[in-house]
Structure 1
Amino acid sequence: MLGHNKETEGTRGRPGRRGRSEREPRAGEEPQPPAPPSSSGSRRRPFKGAERAQGARAAELRVRVRLPDGQVTEESLQADSDGDSISLELRKPDGTLLSFIADFKKDVKIFRALILGELEKGQSQFQALCFLSRLHRNEIIPSEAMAKLRQKNPRAVRQAEEVRGPELLRMDLAVNFTLGALLSPHLRNVCAEAAEAIYARQEDAHFWLEQGVDGAVFEPLPRDPEPGLARCRQVGEHGKPCVCRYTLSLAWYPCLLKYCHSHERPAPYKCGIRSCQKSYSFDFYVPQRQLCLWDEDP
């Protein structure tokens, strides 16, 4: 056990801080749709980690990318070579805002989703989720190389050259938001809206503990509290606990550096990047089916 869970089962495991409730429409008024969350979900600016807050320079690249379903959206990529991190952000057609941070200094990947709620199903304005996993050096290009990327045609629609295999991660730990900066300085800002729904895995936590991270950062989640706990998509009653699954996709990101050869240069030299697409699915415990309404049978 990596830490003592001081929260009750009813609070830990809730997927995200809820948005403010909407005003009830007056007689004769049309109900207003929920406003989509901003890039930060509040007045915070996304990806403003500790290094950037101290004035480190960051380079930004905006590209138009084709999503797996064929639709096109704009993606923002930022590289902080001083802080040694890369961030990515895109908004899906349904309004969901996806954010990704690669923290090379701490070997941490942070995934955040701000999911618009469906008021007709009794949901609040939005839910927020954060998932943390170990960053391996061969997953994405270095921040210094990312900071130098430029594009000749900003209106071109980019499609990944390589589709990497999907990854399923079973999240069996919660992360203490108050102590999260000990794991990555980016967590406090990026996951602020998901303070009660930050998840990690035992196997990744063991690696971070070996790097000197305090074990109090991690709190155990209920492990199969009921025999044969079902996936939420198989549970009909909204008040029952279940295993929730959330899937997201990084539609386009620079995953490898390309090297070229020339008669004029004796050694290979960097001459471009290879782009990749990758999907991630996260399984995690929720105390109520109501907290995982997106996980439905196709």
Structure 2
Amino acid sequence: MFPLEDRWRFFWLIVPLLWCCQRGQSELKVLVRLEDGQITEESLQADSERDCITLEFQKADGTFVTYLADFKQGVKIFRVLILGELERGQNQFQALCFITQLQNNEIIPSESMAKLRQKNPHTIRQAEETKRMETLQMDVSVNFTKALQLSSHVHNICAEAKEAIYTRQDDVRTWLERGIDGSMFEVLPLYSTLPAVPPCKLCPWDWKPCICSYRLGLEWIPCSLKYCKSRESSGRSTSYKCGIRSCQKSYSFHFYVTQKQLCLWDEET
């Protein structure tokens, strides 16, 4: 059995140097306090040419989180790499990918993000606004080999999660209207399915299917631009960009797994 520090070392060896937005990118590093009180460093990269923003950070338990906003395709991707519980028969790590539509005003444009600079790198940042937690029923699985239609970044981010890529039926309906190939999607069982599939935290058997829950928080994201007003010599009032507003946003993902063994963290919630 590997000590935890050795497993972290192994984990970092297999985590790719993601930064999907490779060309013309700028990077911002921000210290933030997580829900458990631990301090971590968020890395935010913007690529105005490919019109995307990537946010990454590592939690104290070794979990590695990636959030990507793809403005060209109008989607956002969450990837979570979770250290496995070797003593319970899990692999070294478990990967999850969640893909859904990118809404307006979730995060500032990539061009604006590329212009941000860190003035006080040792300051622990706290979001100015805490947004309502969003509950997402991820009731559709996505075929990895066909997912490039959704975003050119899927194959880079979700390579470790080929069998665990999820989205929602609401998103699928929108994508089908845009001409996306529907054969990449498969509807999964949920609570309402008969026979009923229980939540994993209530399922007593490790090898039975259940509905898994995973809660993910982004503690500091530049969610909107601030505008200030000035008055010209003619007396006319004008507005200009003068900063950003930061937000904290949490998500609760619910999705089907073929066995509780793939959702052991749910026992702790």
Once the two structures are superposed, residues 21-63 of structure 1 have per-residue CA deviations (whole angstroms, 9 ceiling, x without a partner) of xxx68xxxx8984235238x44x431325xx3xxx31111111
Partner of residue 222, structure 2: 254
Once the two structures are superposed, residues 100-133 of structure 1 have per-residue CA deviations (whole angstroms, 9 ceiling, x without a partner) of 0000111101000000112222222100000011
C-alpha RMSD over aligned residues: 1.9
Higher RCO (CA < 8 A, seq sep 6+):
1
Would the alpha carbon gap of residues 245 and 31 (structure 1) be closer, same or farther in structure 2, given more than 3 Å must change? closer
Match of 2:49 among 71, 77, 82: 82
Partner of residue 12, structure 2: 38
Partner of residue 47, structure 1: 19
Corresponding position: 1:278 with 2:249: yes
Q: How many Å apart are 1:260 and its aligned residue?
A: 0.7
Corresponding position: 1:269 with 2:245: no
* CA distance in 2 between partners of 1:69 and 1:31 (Å): 19
Corresponding position: 1:292 with 2:254: no
* Helix, strand or coil at the partner of 2:81: strand
Match of 2:183 among 216, 225, 231: 216
Once the two structures are superposed, residues 128-150 of structure 1 have per-residue CA deviations (whole angstroms, 9 ceiling, x without a partner) of 00001110121111111000001
Q: How many Å apart are 1:273 and its aligned residue?
A: 0.4
Would the alpha carbon gap of residues 258 and 176 (structure 1) be closer, same or farther in structure 2, given more than 3 Å must change? same
* CA distance in 2 between partners of 1:34 and 1:238 (Å): 23
| Structure that is richer in helix per residue | 2
| Structure that is richer in strand per residue | 2
Structure 2 unaligned segments of length 5 or more: list them.
Answer: none
Aligned positions of 1:154-169 closer than 5 A: 154-169=121-136
Q: Given that residues 52 and 69 in structure 2 are in contact (C-alpha distance below 8 angstroms), is that contact kept between their aligned partners in structure 1?
A: yes
Q: How many Å apart are 1:180 and its aligned residue?
A: 1.1
Partner of residue 16, structure 1: none
* CA distance in 1 between partners of 2:115 and 2:5 (Å): 43
Q: Given that residues 182 and 217 in structure 1 are in contact (C-alpha distance below 8 angstroms), is that contact kept between their aligned partners in structure 2?
A: no
Match of 1:192 among 132, 156, 159: 159
Structure 1 unaligned segments of length 5 or more: list them.
Answer: 1-23
* CA distance in 2 between partners of 1:31 and 1:171 (Å): 31
What one-letter code is carried by the residue in structure 1 that aligns with 2:241? K
Would the alpha carbon gap of residues 159 and 31 (structure 1) be closer, same or farther in structure 2, given more than 3 Å must change? closer
Q: Given that residues 232 and 289 in structure 1 are in contact (C-alpha distance below 8 angstroms), is that contact kept between their aligned partners in structure 2?
A: yes
Once the two structures are superposed, residues 59-82 of structure 1 have per-residue CA deviations (whole angstroms, 9 ceiling, x without a partner) of 111111111222210000000101
Q: Given that residues 35 and 125 in structure 1 are in contact (C-alpha distance below 8 angstroms), is that contact kept between their aligned partners in structure 2?
A: no
* CA distance in 1 between partners of 2:5 and 2:129 (Å): 41
Q: Given that residues 190 and 197 in structure 2 are in contact (C-alpha distance below 8 angstroms), is that contact kept between their aligned partners in structure 1?
A: no
Q: How many Å apart are 1:223 and its aligned residue?
A: 4.5
Which stretch shows the higher mean deviation, 206-215 or 174-183? 206-215
* Helix, strand or coil at the partner of 2:183: helix
Aligned positions of 1:141-160 closer than 5 A: 141-160=108-127
* CA distance in 1 between partners of 2:102 and 2:87 (Å): 39
What one-letter code is carried by the residue in structure 2 that aligns with 1:69? D
Q: Given that residues 190 and 211 in structure 2 are in contact (C-alpha distance below 8 angstroms), is that contact kept between their aligned partners in structure 1?
A: no
Would the alpha carbon gap of residues 46 and 31 (structure 1) be closer, same or farther in structure 2, given more than 3 Å must change? closer
| TM-score normalised by the chain length of structure 1 | 0.83
* CA distance in 2 between partners of 1:102 and 1:199 (Å): 16
Partner of residue 117, structure 1: 84
Moved over 3 A (4+): 30-33, 222-226
Q: How many Å apart are 1:297 and its aligned residue?
A: 4.6
State the number of aligned residues: 264
What one-letter code is carried by the residue in structure 2 that aligns with 1:126? F
* Helix, strand or coil at the partner of 1:154: coil
* CA distance in 2 between partners of 1:82 and 1:191 (Å): 22
Q: Given that residues 86 and 101 in structure 1 are in contact (C-alpha distance below 8 angstroms), is that contact kept between their aligned partners in structure 2?
A: yes
* CA distance in 1 between partners of 2:5 and 2:82 (Å): 18
